[in-house]
Structure 1
Amino acid sequence: MKTAIMGFGNPVRSDDAIGIYVIEEIQKHIKDTDNISVFDMGTAAFEVLFGLKGHNKIIIVDAVINTNEPNGTLFKVPAEEVLRAPEEDPMVFLHGMKWDQALSYAKKIMQDEYPKDITVYLIAVENTRLEVELSQPVKEAGDKVVNLILKELEIAVN
């Protein structure tokens, strides 16, 4: 089984960078494997979506605002329940794209190869100001997600 892990976020918008933090932490534990691909969806180009071809599983990590839950609250969301149809907007750029839009476009690109096994982790955030540090509750939630993903992929933590 080939798995793609996608981290969304803006690395200079404080807690919005949590998806990027998670994939950077996961990369520290992945040793030369052809079965796991890690994608930085915060700064990568739209072409990254084509890189999902051949994957049987997708794991997504992103920040979510306005949840009315405490900062750092972790949600595991069934992707298919909230997946929306892609907007046929020629001005859609990845930097403005969120995970649900990315999955919609990936489904369109991959067609029959689109995986059925998709996990979405969302972390409640409040601070998206122009800063490079994560708040402690969001970082702790990110560490929980790292451990959940590593456990799911059966990767031992050093």
Structure 2
Amino acid sequence: MGKLADKTIVIGLGSPIMSDDAVGLKVSEAIESLKMPDVDTLQEAVGGLEILPMISGYRFAIIVDAILTGDYSPGTVLIFEPESFDCTVTDVQGHDVNLATALKIGRQMDNSIMPEVIRFVAIEVEDLQTMSEVMTPKVAAAVGSAKNAVLHLISEFRGQAGKR
């Protein structure tokens, strides 16, 4: 247990040139601009197993990403726990590993360096196909709400860290 830093890593995932897919990056940048000493941020265009070295060693991790379910209005901010994705864990080999499977693999490899708490902040989007550096209006307007969701989680994490 002593290996984990009492810090939070916020990783925004996405592509800056695929319209709404940039929303995770924008939220992470908004958190980064606050310069909180116990919060590190990254903006990445990776997934699967590549995320493991980025989150290892942190007590808390928040992954922010676009999601396209069709079940919610564009701009809706959702918070998930890794267990929400257990049904998507697969036994695939190689590079085509989704995030839930990667986290399971990470816990099996060395649970002592995996975050104690991981949350996903997902923003329902409407356009992941258009090559554009501009997000759709509803998704762009959701960056503030998603940033507030991340800040709420960070506040919860700080409360948990204080109880040790």
Shorter-chain TM-score range: 0.7 to 0.9
Residue 85 (structure 1) shift: 3.7
- In the alignment, what sits opposite 1:143? 144
Cα distance change, pair 87–13 in 1 and its aligned pair in 2 (3 A): farther
- In the alignment, what sits opposite 1:114? 114
The question of 1:78 aligning with 2:81 is answered: yes
- In the alignment, what sits opposite 1:55? 58
Residue 51 (structure 1) shift: 3.3
- Is residue 58–residue 115 contact of structure 2 (8 Å, CA) maintained in 1? yes
CA distance, structure 2, for counterparts of residue 91 and residue 47 of structure 1? 9
- In the alignment, what sits opposite 1:90? 94
Which secondary structure state, in structure 1, belongs to the residue aligned with residue 64 of structure 2? strand
The question of 1:68 aligning with 2:71 is answered: yes
Tell me the amino acid that sits aligned with residue 55 of structure 2: L
Cα distance change, pair 107–17 in 1 and its aligned pair in 2 (3 A): farther
Alignment RMSD: 2.6
- In the alignment, what sits opposite 1:124? 124
The question of 1:27 aligning with 2:28 is answered: no
The question of 1:38 aligning with 2:41 is answered: yes
- Which one is further off, 74-83 or 12-21? 74-83
- Is residue 13–residue 132 contact of structure 1 (8 Å, CA) maintained in 2? yes
CA distance, structure 2, for counterparts of residue 47 and residue 24 of structure 1? 20
Tell me the amino acid that sits aligned with residue 115 of structure 1: P
Cα distance change, pair 47–77 in 1 and its aligned pair in 2 (3 A): closer
Identity %: 24
Tell me the amino acid that sits aligned with residue 70 of structure 1: S
Cα distance change, pair 70–51 in 1 and its aligned pair in 2 (3 A): closer
Q: Deviations over 1:64-97 (max 9, x none)?
A: 11333211111111222214446453334xxxx6
- Is residue 57–residue 118 contact of structure 1 (8 Å, CA) maintained in 2? yes
Cα distance change, pair 108–22 in 1 and its aligned pair in 2 (3 A): farther
Tell me the amino acid that sits aligned with residue 7 of structure 1: G
Tell me the amino acid that sits aligned with residue 89 of structure 1: Q
Residue 98 (structure 1) shift: 5.1
- Structure 1: runs of 5 or more not aligned: none
CA distance, structure 1, for counterparts of residue 72 and residue 46 of structure 2? 28
CA distance, structure 1, for counterparts of residue 109 and residue 44 of structure 2? 16
The question of 1:17 aligning with 2:18 is answered: no
- Is residue 50–residue 109 contact of structure 1 (8 Å, CA) maintained in 2? no
- Structure 2: runs of 5 or more not aligned: 1-5, 156-164
Cα distance change, pair 39–87 in 1 and its aligned pair in 2 (3 A): farther
- Which one is further off, 18-27 or 50-59? 50-59
Residue 47 (structure 1) shift: 5.3
